[in-house]
A and B are shown apart, each in its own frame.
Chain A
Amino acid sequence: MIFNEICEVIYNKEIAKNIFEAKLLSDKISKSTKPGQFVNILPSIEFGNVMRRPMSLSHQDSESINIIYKSIGDGTRTMKGWKKGEKIDIIGPLGNYWNINHNKELILLAGGVGIAPILNLYNKIKDNRKTNLFIGARDRNEHFLKHDENNDIYLSTDDGSYGIKGNLFNALQKVFSTKDLQDKVMYVCGPAIMMEVVSKFALKNNIECFLALETIMACGIGICQGCTLETNKNSNNKEHSYRSKYELVCMDGPIFNAKEIKTCLL
């Protein structure tokens, strides 16, 4: 079931350099969301653009939802200005969710704002399952968690100003050998180029890997057919994507098994 809810902002704050977290009251979306799913947000009533902004949830409980976003475009610049009490029009929950139907150790990789769906999964599973969290950023100002190897939390920075120096993939390779990774499952979300590197590495080394993809969407509910992705599945899914060659990121994703897709570079 998809809901169109008016959600009141509980808080909206900068948690790292130009990275914001907002918490909103939600009665229905909150109760039916699973980690990995997203919502489609109308940044404001006056918003002049024709498309809502799809955002993965970073957290949900019985009465609220959280998002984490970087202020970079028309939508997120508007969202940055949200005040406590403001009413926001949101559609969700949308898309599929992380598949954790196994007993293997988890490797979570989050680059940039890809952190939202990864954190959501991390907080759900970390107490029950051995889970390693990797978060990459350009520099220390973009991080809001602590590098804590004892608790399997690894932060990296491109400039070496905090945690492990290098990109997310470098950090992963510094902590785990390829052989170590082969009995684990990877969950990845971040910049397309990072996901492409990790995805190709996983495929080459036969490591199970799930990716939360991001692309432009007009509707988020399978109508506009705009967010297509070429897959290897030949699924003949006529329900939303009408054919075998393409799937829709909004309905069939946003999460795909690395084995199923041709590329992350959408």
Chain B
Amino acid sequence: MLALKLKDIIFKNPIMVASGTFGYGNEASDVVDLSKFGGIITKSVTRYPREGNPPPRICEVSSGMLNSIGLANVGVEDYVQEKIPFLNKINSNVIINIAGTKVEDYIETLEILETASGNHVGYEINISCPNVKEGGLEFGVSSKLTKSLTKELRLRTKKLLIMKLSPNVTSISEIAQAAQEGGADAVSAINTLVGMAIDINSRKPKLSTNLGGLSGPCIKPVALANIFKLYKSLDIPIIGIGGISNDRDVLEFLLAGASLVQLGTINYKYPNLVASIPQAMEEYFNLNDINDINEIIGALRLDD
């Protein structure tokens, strides 16, 4: 009863892992049964390798963390050689997250992945990383750029195309509509919020880049509000992300309008949380006479 379809792809349950919080899947395979996940979003890959930002890259804050990794990754060519073979063995839907700083980079990365012999079912396009100076965020804050990028990528793939949205914008609904008009199959939201922490003794920011991306349970209410807004303004499905820590949180996101969700920061604390969430959700479904997950998506009760 937890299974659902996105386009023509079946997800065994709505629980996926957010990009960057599960690497390329192999790192945690000792302690986690990856086949339990409805889907795995891999760490962002870019056209060329990236060293990432200097340390310190992370710090802990109240009910959350800040990160500024800077999209450190091997680049798409090595990705195809070294990561795809392991990803192909995972018994779950693999979605490859692509990041970039210019249109050509996104296009070339996607084209290379399209010709690789990967079993991945789709792409999540990161147009909203707050930690890259050259302007990955520019796409995510502009409806025009979002629409044209989505169009370009749509022309080149029949696989799932998901645009990952930033909350650091004036109107997330406008950006989402642009993605929809460009031909996206779904949007995922939210990426991290811009945040900061300061060491009062050294008087220095706690991250080398001064500002970073805020994630964890502290952003859940912000994420839910964004899902709620998106659900009212979109026809395509929404993948909910932001501070989810347990089965009750997943249900909140579904009620607000998310079809699927991604677990992010919580994976660091409980790498195997997915082992218990689907069962707890089924208990809730049984208790509330829900036979199909689609009955609960967006089923929020609002006063007129």
Contacts and interface: CB of A to CB of B under 8 A. Distances in A.
A50 B268 contact: yes
B271 A91 contact: yes
B106 to A, nearest CB: 20
Interface stretch (B8-16, B46-54, B91-99, B168-176): B46-54
A228 B52 contact: yes
Given A2-B31, A223-B22, A242 B63 contact: no
Interface string A81-101: 000000000010000000000
A260 to B, nearest CB: 15
B64 interface: yes
Interface stretch (B66-74, B156-164, B226-234): B66-74
A229 B74 CA distance: 17
Report the contact-size class of chain B (Cβ under 8 Å from the partner). 35 or more
B58 A246 contact: no
A138 B64 CA distance: 34
Given A4-B31, A4-B272, A243-B52, A224 B58 contact: yes
B43 to A, nearest CB: 8
Contact of B27 (A42, A221, A245): A221
Contact of B265 (A4, A50, A230, A242): A50
A114 B28 CA distance: 27
B67 A48 contact: no
B202 to A, nearest CB: 11
Report the contact-size class of chain A (Cβ under 8 Å from the partner). 35 or more
State the majority secondary structure of interface residues on B. loop
B21 A223 contact: yes
A243 B82 contact: no
Contact of A3 (B31, B55, B57): B31
A218 interface: yes
Given A3-B30, A228-B52, A242-B74, A49 B268 contact: no
A242 B52 contact: yes
B23 A222 contact: yes
Interface string B19-61: 0111100011011000000000000000001111011111110
Contacts of B271: 4, 91, 219, 221
Contacts of A49: 60, 63
B54 A243 contact: no
Given A50-B266, A229-B55, A246-B72, A221 B64 contact: no
A72 interface: no
A225 B20 CA distance: 9
B250 interface: no
A241 B27 CA distance: 11
B255 to A, nearest CB: 24
A50 B72 contact: no
Contacts of B82: 238
Interface in A155-209: none
Contacts of A215: 55-56
B76 interface: no
Interface of A: 1-4, 42, 47-52, 91, 215-216, 218-219, 221-230, 238, 240-246, 266
Closest 10 pairs between A and B when the two form their complex, measured CB to CB = A226-B58, A2-B30, A223-B23, A4-B31, A219-B268, A218-B268, A50-B216, A228-B55, A222-B27, A243-B51
7 contacts: A50-B60, A91-B31, A223-B22, A225-B69, A225-B72, A228-B52, A243-B74
